[in-house]
Structure 1
Amino acid sequence: MQKLKAALLSYGLSGKVFHAPFLELHPRFELTGSWERSKKLIQQDYPNVKSYASLEELLQDDVDLVVVNTPVETHYEYAKKVLEAGKHALVEKAFTTNATEAKALRDLAKAKGLKLCVYQNRRWDSDFKTVKEVVDENLLGDIVEAEFRFDRYNPSLSPKTHKETQNAGAGVLKDLGPHIIDQAVHLFGYPDSVFADIRITRNNSLVDDLIDILLYYPDKRVKIRAGFFFREAVPSYAVHGTKGSFLKSRGDIQEDVLRTGQKPTLEGWGIEPEEKAGILHTEKNGEVFRGHIPTRPGNYYGLFDALYHSITEGKPEPVTADEALQVMKIIDAALLSSKEKKVIQLK
């Protein structure tokens, strides 16, 4: 089978933790290196790869796939250059800073016959995979309401200046928001309308750090929440239907394990502690059931494997540019809704 050469546009946290280990694990990807502007770190972990001095040097190399894992405000510029150079692109979330940029990149990739995928790795989290299985198996009946949360307790400002300065890619709406908005759309489809309340809650913060978004569907509503003042955890996923409810905490262990330097594997990876199991309270065969159900293992390898087959076999990307464009349209609508304090129609 064909082997694909892949390069990163940075080797900070995302490159070191989320991308390089899985490219190394996959037998049909070859990590060629990373663009490194100041610190030259990638060769400490991967001695046989290159440290590119510039984007131009990287794009002139024999590379098939480029991972655009730089700050959000640079995604459009860099992804455009990657596509124009004839390379396939995997772009970190948020895809772009707005829907207009997202549509332009989607159209450019289509025109050039290239694959453009967005790195929505949280679809491959153990907790969300379990939620999706419960919904797909119709264990709750018709869904009436759901709430997806990405809560943290962290009053301090991030040391990463691009996350805390006023720019088009900063703020929790475009940091944590894309994860759970994408999960909601992946599970329930594109909503009809949006209402949002977006705020700043931390001292000296210049960017939004609390979001409360309602996605309206004809037969249900889905609440999206994220912020930094949630010291006591509540369920990250709460899904309620005509037959019952499913509550699940955020329990995926992959990021924490990867941050320790442990390398991913194909077997026995991404298994949550049993105490994190979700609670299912529903009806089965006419009888009420309430109990914990096993959590599906998570593995980000699935995204990279699906992307490989997309490039080599012409299959759809695991996260398409059309899906990512829908997320950006929702984010744009949320910003407008919060500003004008009204419901924004999407369809």
Structure 2
Amino acid sequence: MASAPAPGSVIRVGLLGYGLSGSRFHGPLVAAEPAFTLAAVASRRTDVVARDWPGVRTGTVDSLLADPDLQVLVVCTPNDSHASLAEQALRAGKHVVVEKPFTLDADEALRLDALAQERGLCLTVFHNRRWDGDFLTVRQLLSQGRLGTLYSLESHFDRFRPQVKVRWKEQDVPGGGSLWDLGAHLVDQAVQLFGLPESVVADLGRQRPGAQGTDWFHLVLRYGALRVLLHSGSVVHSPWPRFVLQGDRDAYVKHGLDAQEGQLEAGLRPGHPDFGSEPAAQHGRLLVSGETVPTAPGDYGQFYRQLAAAILHGAPVPVTAVSASQTVQVLQAALQSDAEGRRITLPSL
């Protein structure tokens, strides 16, 4: 078991990996939550860690796994290592945060959930875009019935990045490509809104010269009469709206990505009055009524806030392993659909 923090003390956190997710998201968000302290990082980039976090020690994965003073380990390594490192961390008695995607296989995700429950440990997955302001706004509109009966939701994550970069995310390796990277966000949001779809149809592409991994995808998720379209392209000069929802009473259109990633990169942190907010010019619109819909404040800080409550007080973890496994199940179905050129029907978990 993880050593319990003494009353009034902070929870000591170690990061396994220090790439983009560790440096841009987990480090700053852990540091912004008073219940936690960033104590150690497993990375060969010792100079970068020292620059970003003076006084935070660096080590190896094995040394952090064996450290009795660390209560939480955050797995922010390449996708194909998530499952094995999460299992090692749980067996070492640590509470575990896993960067999305949780695993590359839904059954493996459920096995990890069972292990965490057996050990009495918290296991959660960093699906941070559940706290995007635009997504929170969509949830609110649907819960209020503002659009009437919903018939379609279109969700885009487009970029203009015509040059292929030499990095694992863009290689043809297990867990590589934009479907596992950006698609994990879009699928997770759809599953949060509507649950597991009845079926999935997917078209995956490699469009850019030299592309090895998927850099274009289009998914259609079927929920009875409702269709959910999830799309991403890497050579998009003028991005499509982030969200388009069509109901029999009204429609909602929202442009622009959530501001929090850019704010974190610029040094803004949760707790700052501007964190998670966006300019009024970027607010979405209802097309029939003509009403501008203010975007709800985004709040990635909720993730570690809720994790602290789970560890200290037994509250629910921010993202359950079961819900994250459903996202993996849909991603697996999308890969199968593209490979076999057919619609894949999903069984319920």
Q: Same fold (TM over 0.5)?
A: yes
Kindly state the Cα deviation for residue 276 of structure 1 after the two structures are TM-superposed: 0.5
List per-residue Cα deviations over 1:172-214 (Å, max 9, x = no partner). 1100000010011111111111111111111111111111111
Cα distance in 2 for residues equivalent to 1:82 and 1:293? 43
Tell me the equivalent position of 1:173. Answer: 179
Residue of structure 1 in register with 2:343 after alignment = 343
Runs of 4+ in 1 over 6 A off after TM superposition: none
Native 8 Å contact 2:260 2:298 kept in 1? yes
Q: What is the match of residue 41 of structure 1?
A: 48
Q: Which residue of 84, 94, 100 corresponds with 1:87?
A: 94
Task: Report the CA distance between 1:266 and its aligned residue.
Answer: 4.7
TM norm structure 1: 0.93
For 2:151 and 2:310, the matched residues in 1 are separated by: 34
Kindly provide the amino acid, as one letter, of the partner of residue 330 in structure 1.
V
Residue type matched to 2:308 in 1? Y
CA contact (8 A) 1:127 1:249 kept: no
Q: What corresponds to 2:3 in structure 1?
A: none
The residue that corresponds to 1:302 in the other structure is 302
Whole-Å Cα distance in 2 between the matches of residues 175 and 32 of structure 1? 27
**Separation in 2, partners of 1:119, 1:180:** 14
Between the aligned partners of 2:45 and 2:24, the Cα distance in structure 1 is: 19
Map residues 199-210 of structure 1 onto 2, 5 A cutoff: 199-210=205-216
Moved more, 165-174 or 265-274: 265-274
1:73 equivalent to 2:80? Answer: yes
Q: Which amino acid aligns with 2:303?
A: L
Q: Which amino acid aligns with 2:52?
A: D
What is the aligned partner in structure 1 of residue 65 from structure 2? 59
- 1:217-236 mapped onto 2 (5 Å cutoff): 217-236=223-242
Q: 2:115 aligns with which of 95, 108, 112?
A: 108
Q: Which residue of 2 aligns with 1:286?
A: none
1-side partners of 2:271 and 2:19: how far apart?
21
Map 1:179-194 to 2 at 5 A: 179-194=185-200
- CA distance in 2 between counterparts of 1:213 and 1:16 reads 30
Aligned AA for 1:64?
Q
In structure 2, distance between residues paired with 1:199 and 1:233: 18
TM-score (norm 2): 0.93
Amino acid in the other structure paired with 2:181: D
Retained in 1: the 8 A contact 2:79–2:101? Answer: yes
Task: Compute the RMSD of aligned alpha carbons.
Answer: 1.5
* 2:26 counterpart of 1:19: yes
Q: C-alpha separation between the residues in 2 aligned to 1:188 and 1:310?
A: 25
Is 2:185 aligned against 1:147? no
Matches within 5 A, 1:256-271: 256-271=262-277
Query: Is 2:13–2:71's contact at 8 Å kept on the other side of the alignment?
Result: yes
Contact 1:33 1:42 in 2 (8 A): no
Structure 2: tracts of 5 or more residues without a match: 1-7
> Which secondary structure does the structure 2 equivalent of 1:204 belong to?
coil
Partner SS for 1:41: helix
Q: What do the CA deviations read for 1:82-105 (whole angstroms, capped 9, x no partner)?
A: 111011111111111222322222
Secondary structure in structure 1 of the residue aligned to 2:63: helix
Whether the 8 Å contact between 1:131 and 1:248 is mirrored in structure 2 is no
Alpha-carbon distance between aligned partners in 1 of 2:312 and 2:196, rounded to the nearest angstrom: 29
Gaps of 5+ in 1: 283-288
8 Å contact from structure 2 (residues 90, 96) kept in 1: yes
The answer on 1:136 being equivalent to 2:143 is yes
1:323 aligns with 2:323: yes
Secondary structure in structure 2 of the residue aligned to 1:290: coil
Instruction: Tell me which amino acid in the other structure corresponds to 2:241.
Output: P
- Contact conserved, 2:263 with 2:275, CA < 8 A, in 1? no
Rounded Cα–Cα distance in structure 1 between residues aligned with 2:192 and 2:312: 24
**Larger deviation, residues 35-44 vs 320-329:** 35-44
Partner amino acid for 1:95? F
Q: Residues of 1 paired with 2:315 and 2:346: CA distance?
A: 28
1:17 is displaced (CA, Å) by 1.4
Tell me whether 128-137 or 35-44 shows the greater mean CA deviation.
35-44
1:153 counterpart letter in structure 2: F
Q: Percent identity?
A: 37
Within 1, Cα distance between the matches of 2:127 and 2:141? 20
One-letter amino acid matched to 1:291: E
